[in-house]
Structure 1
Amino acid sequence: MLYISEQGHVDAERIQLKLFATIERGPMLNVHGIVVHQTGGATASSTFNSYQNVGANGAHFLIDRDGDIYQTASLTRVTHHVGRIRSRCLETVSCTPVAIAESRRALRRGGVLELDRHERNKAWPARFPSNSDAIGIELVGMYRDSGKEQVYEAPTPEQNVSLSWLIAELIETLRIERREVYRHPEVSYKNATEASAARW
């Protein structure tokens, strides 16, 4: 179990604090999920450099290629890492016919943007975790252009070991349901290969 200070900082031997106030937004009052990402950059330092820009997007943790874990934002603060969220209702077909019809109408009316607005008006668990209630974990990892699409490289074995440990600790400490841990493209409109080889 992790010790988390009132400021939202984790005190653990395996986690190094490298915090960037520039990626923190408003307060995060509840944590309902975890979203796993890949940076698209070759090094941790390139991501840290981008985090120094005012208004930068970023996640709460970053795992380097050698498995080193950095906490980059407070767990009590929202970061922008998810983007526009998919409809849980449409993706899982697990809600009422009326709710499915409402989501389809939103999508027809204004595309992904309108569907995202529609979803954000719902309370969790009727929607996927979003920026407001999800912890983001970035894995340093590039993508290559395959001609038709960009394909993300597989995380290193060391990254997957650290990711597995971090997710297990966060689940236990924050009482997050294991089924609420997602790869980025599962909850948002992102490259389907992002974090596809991540294991936890």
Structure 2
Amino acid sequence: MVDKSVEVKTYPSIEHGALLSVTSIVLHRTDSSTAASVLNAYKSGQKTGAHFLIEKDGKIYQTASLEKICWHVGILQPRCVNESTCDPTELKNINALLHQKGLSFSKRAKNVSSHENTKAYPLRYPANSDSVGIEVVGRFLPSTKDYEAPTQSQLFQTKWLTQQLVDHYKLKLLSDVYSHGAIARKEATEGAQLLRYIFTGA
């Protein structure tokens, strides 16, 4: 991405194959206090990561090429179950995977995610293979089960960057941008503050 607001600082360890199409954008929180700790992890060879990282002062780093897949989504939740849109056969298939005997919950959740990944977007939630990830620095607060409030600079820059990507890929802001916690097996609140600001300004 070429813009004076973005410092390109890419890390091969978080780039995994060709990103052939982009259908959506996923908003994340880092559960860290600074961008430096995330960048150091990438530099040390961490495999998971996202395409962009936004520091508390609003500085944006592009940490992976937009032509490369990043492992930023993880284990997908079943979209039609969450949204009560499954047809009876599909609901039966998903429930069979969710309640398969003899497997740990982790394994069953991964099997559901693999099943979801056989579907085309938007029948499923965004996957690594077709989405861009934006990480925003901020710690998780166990006492509130939420993340620390993003700074105004982070909110402004997240909204700006998201709009740039929506325009570039010809996406729909209200239907193709997601908080991580709403689509994957993560903390439910991850990214929710960011998404709310993008949608409502509050």
1:165 corresponding residue in structure 2: 160
Alignment equivalent of 1:75, drawn from 62, 66, 74: 66
User: Which stretches of structure 1, 4 residues or more, deviate above 3 A after TM superposition?
Assistant: none
Say if 2:6 is the partner of 1:15. yes
SS of the residue corresponding to residue 58 of structure 1 reads coil
- Supply the AA of the counterpart residue of 2:164: E
2:180 corresponding residue in structure 1: 184
Deviations 1:160-198 (A, max 9, x none): 100111111100111122212111111101112222221
Say if 2:82 is the partner of 1:91. yes
Alignment equivalent of 2:114, drawn from 117, 121, 125: 117
Seq. identity, %: 37
RMSD, aligned CA: 1.4
Q: How does 1:43-62 map to 2 (within 5 A)?
A: 43-62=34-53
Give me the whole-angstrom Cα distance separating, in 2, the residues matched to 1:23 and 1:53.
11
Say if 2:148 is the partner of 1:153. yes
Give me the whole-angstrom Cα distance separating, in 1, the residues matched to 2:57 and 2:21.
31
**Corresponding residue pairs, total:** 189
More strand by share: 1
Question: What 5-or-longer segments of structure 2 have no aligned partner?
Answer: none
1:134 corresponding residue in structure 2: 131
Question: What 5-or-longer segments of structure 1 have no aligned partner?
Answer: 1-9
2:190 corresponding residue in structure 1: 194
TM score, norm. by length of structure 2: 0.88
Residue 50 of structure 1, CA deviation: 0.5
Give me the whole-angstrom Cα distance separating, in 2, the residues matched to 1:103 and 1:82.
20
1:50–1:56 CA contact under 8 A, matched in 2: no
Moved more, 41-50 or 91-100: 91-100
Residue 55 of structure 1, CA deviation: 4.5
Residue 141 of structure 1, CA deviation: 0.5
Deviations 1:134-155 (A, max 9, x none): 1000001012331xx7531011
